[in-house]
Chains A and B, each alone.
Chain A
Amino acid sequence: MNTDQRNTLGVSMLVAGLVLTLVAASISWSAVQTWLAVSETGEASDQLRRGRVADARRLATKAASRAPEAAAPALLALDPTDNDAIDRLVPLALRADRHADRQAVLATVGLARMALGKSADVELPGTADLRLIGAMAAARAGRDPGKLKAAENEEPPHLSVLRAAHIMLMRSAWEAGRVSETRMHAGALLLLRPKAPEAALLYAVVGVSSPVLGDAEAMQLLEGIREGKDDAIRAIAALLPQRRAAIAAKWPKAVEGMEIPASVAPEPKPSGAKP
């Protein structure tokens, strides 16, 4: 190899080495950013589980700025009352690599739009999410949402969608005075989050509406309600005339303006139940 050839080869290797170093630096920077984003997303999820929504959203926003293509931090950072932010999520669903991410983004968009009183306007074939969102929209519009049944080969709904559906359908049944349905949704909500702050209210709804429970035990359950106790007791009294006398004895204001029946026949058993 003569001098010129060695010179050329040396310079070529120098340039190649520089390019490789730059590529390595770029990959390392991206890896570190992804690592930080994963860590912040995990931390945001933990904060959300503890009910610290503002902290969770702040951490998730930081993570989303580090990894703008990732769906998980973008969903955690979403303000569901911001219509523009909801619309900005739609392209993320198209770019998402994983099927689960795509479904989560579309379900979030549908649920958030429904919560704002708009049409969901998303395609979610083969999932229970869209049916639940449709049932919620019907309940919101005052129509009959129908029965919630699982279809064959259907992907299960996301927990937040299922919970929102039970909340809306319980409220709708409560407003219509349908006791069994209200109790069923309250029971489902308890199973989904048994240690949530609203668990005492849900226990009270399930227990007090049960014909098996005596008045004394039912009043103990009502006593355990912490948040919005007066409103809750009044709403339960409105739903259950057979408990009004017992409630009136302890919380007379809760039954103001309501008729207190002298004796109410117990709720009839379902037709299929054995005696």
Chain B
Amino acid sequence: MIPCQSCGKQNPIGTRYCRACGTKIEVNQQQVFQAVSEDRADAASTRWFERGRSLLIIGLFFLTCALVLRLSVVPPMPVADVPPVDVGGFLPKQLPQDKLVDNSAAKPAAKPAVKAP
């Protein structure tokens, strides 16, 4: 940008008359070089700003998608259960003795009737 010598308004490079006051703008080579380099720096910073803003928006979008996926879409891990453990077969390792020993055999014998005096 080139400043107007009369009113100080910043005009784009290549402008022959001030856009504010109409004064003819006179420029020297140094002013042009300075203006061009300022414009380049400005454009570069604008590019960085826009790139940063775009990447930030993309990052936020990805983060939101990832959180939705993690918290809402992925099913929870099932509750753990005890797996079957082999404790040997169903059949006895040694056969019971030939004589039947039932639970009823362990019951106490009936008391003998007591005669009233």
Contacts and interface: CB of A to CB of B under 8 A. Distances in A.
Interface in A1-49: 3-4, 6-7, 9-21, 23-25, 27-28, 30-32, 34-35, 37-38, 41-42, 45, 48
Query: Chain A's interface: helix, strand, loop or mixed, by majority?
Result: helix
A171 B83 contact: no
Given A13-B56, A158-B82, A177-B102, A27 B93 contact: no
Contacts of A30: 70
A58 B76 CA distance: 21
A181 B103 contact: yes
A47 B81 CA distance: 15
A198 B62 CA distance: 54
Interface residues of A, number: 94
B52 A14 contact: yes
A115 B101 CA distance: 27
Contact of A34 (B53, B74, B83): B74
B42 interface: yes
Nearest to A51: B84
Contacts, number: 231
Nearest to B55: A17
Please provide the 5 A-B residue pairs with the shortest distance between their CB atoms, ordered closest to farther: A20-B59, A17-B55, A13-B52, A10-B48, A177-B96
A111 B80 contact: no
B102 A179 contact: yes
A104 B90 CA distance: 24
Interface of B: 38, 41-42, 44-60, 62-63, 65-67, 69-70, 73-104, 107
Given A19-B59, A171-B90, A10 B50 contact: yes
A100 interface: yes
A249 to B, nearest CB: 19
Interface string A131-174: 00000100000000000000000000011110110011011001
B76 to A, nearest CB: 7
A6 B87 CA distance: 73
Given A179-B100, A179-B103, 9 more contacts: A7-B48, A20-B63, A25-B66, A38-B76, A72-B80, A105-B80, A159-B82, A164-B87, A228-B91
Contact of A20 (B56, B70, B96, B107): B56
B104 A24 contact: no
Given A21-B55, A42-B78, A171-B91, A7 B66 contact: no
